[in-house]
Structure 1
Amino acid sequence: MTLATVLMAPVLGDCGPPPSLPFASPINQLFETTFSSGTVLKYTCHHGFKKVNSSHLTCDENGSWVYNVFCAIVTCESPPDISNGRHSGRDEDLYTYGSSVTYSCDPSFTLLGNASIVCTVVNKTVGVWSPSPPACENGCIDLPDIPYAFWEGNKIPLRNFEVFEIGTKLKYQCKPGYRPASNEPQIVRCQENLTWSPSKGCEIETVFTLLVLLTMFEVGKLISQPRSQMEGFASGFVMS
């Protein structure tokens, strides 16, 4: 055996850096660049993939890395159906980790919740849709904003806490110091187009406005007094 043969013998079976896999990463010998024949590298599946075979790579006698695909992407079942609506997925679609679908409602229905859901992973192996699918409701959502008013809470017929059926009427009262801005009833109604009937709300009372302005005027006069007068006022003030 020549010297060249002796020097090359341990090199011929060596492997270079292992291949970069799209579904897994090594967990041992991370900083080495040359590996002898027979070296076994252990791998872990990336998030969104699950283990299906022995998760390792082996350096063979020819200096090649040998392995079988050992991680498979997690899949979800078909997205849930909802009443009075549909999702953007198709029956033949394969829903893998990261896939998403968007829901929409039939005419005259309002979408309540998150419009889109995503295929996620729990326990590293199980595909589930998150968040929960939305619902399609035939009614108005949220309370309208009436300026300077509050709702008569005991007269609000809530359904599902956020949806009001068509025809629902809500009565409001003006806050102290305010009065209705028009002679119309202090009521709003959920209309067929799923919007609330308009209301002009409340406006500040005239007498209350004058009292506020008068108070501000008097405070302003006191602040604008010369310092000498202010000190005289303070020194001449006697508690009865």
Structure 2
Amino acid sequence: MPGLLCPPGQLLALLVLLLQPTGSLENFTSGSTATLECDPGYTALGATTVRCLASGRWYPRVPACIPEEQCPIPVIPHGREISARKSEYTFGHQAEFHCDHGYVLKGSQRTQCSSEGTWRPPIPYCDRVCDPPPKIANGQHSALGTKQFPYGFEVKYTCMEGLSLIGDESIYCTSDDGENLTWSGPAPECRVVRCPKPVVERGRMTPQRFTFPYGVVLRFSCDEGFGLSGAPESQCQADGSWHPPVPTCQPVLCPQPRVAYGRLQSPLDDKTWYQINETVSLGCAPGYQFSDDGNMSLEDSWTATCLPDGNWTPLPKCKKEDDADVCEEVHYIKSAFGCGLPVAEVKALLEIQKLFLEIKKLEVELEE
């Protein structure tokens, strides 16, 4: 029984390249195969070789021919296509890219022309990068093995043991003009830096140490009776000096004691400053006596000692000898309240006392 014939109408839009067995466009017997190709400007979607089945159908299905869409020629600034360049890029064509020195590829390295005439994934671009960070002698940076250094990339430097890092510990990729990239500053150096041991007579430093490398900070204080002249802290600098300069410890002195209506009895050399533990004798001027909280003392000499903090032991107070009248008046008023005197008499007494105190105050001011 002869096989069914496959309809040729499905192939009329195609160019028949090969017919097996021999046939014509009018009929294809069961088992016949055909290799098909679309007309110029069209692309086949599906298998291009089909076979006539006993059922009178083609297998696989006859492909459709669709108009070809061209993709734009791929061009990337500061880069190039490393695949074979073509005059036209149609559906299925691929392109692969590489960036020039100093640039890094952002996006997919390989892309393909789609049936819609667009590149998928999109064509990448080349972004500017910094050159490799500078190397340093006797040290290294943290980006060993890194090949790309984009904007904002930071590297840190370290030195071999026993050496000090002079300069910024880290630098980063940045831009001075908004276009070109460069490193934020020069690389640091690794050097042997030691500051001399600071000597502070009558003083001490913390922490206690035997070597003083670059960057170490010391704090200073003085023995009792001595005061710090200069900054309390100093740091070892890159040039081997201390900054601020190492301070000194100077003896603490007490200024000459001053007592109102008093005078210095000894020593009589009229010194301006006195050493720690040095003593002086003080007396009151004629017509004045020592007083402590209103109680007059008949002593004619008072001794004061210079303390380690630069102050004197308590100094005396000298009051006019007849100031005792004021104290007696005050005591009398206090007792009057206790005795239950009439309020009118107490008020009169207070007014008299107020007038008395004003007179005494004027006398003192006139004498001064």
Q: TM-score, normalised by structure 2?
A: 0.35
Structure with bigger helix share is 1
Higher alpha-carbon Rg: 2
Bigger RCO of structures 1 and 2 (CA < 8 A, at least 6 apart): 1
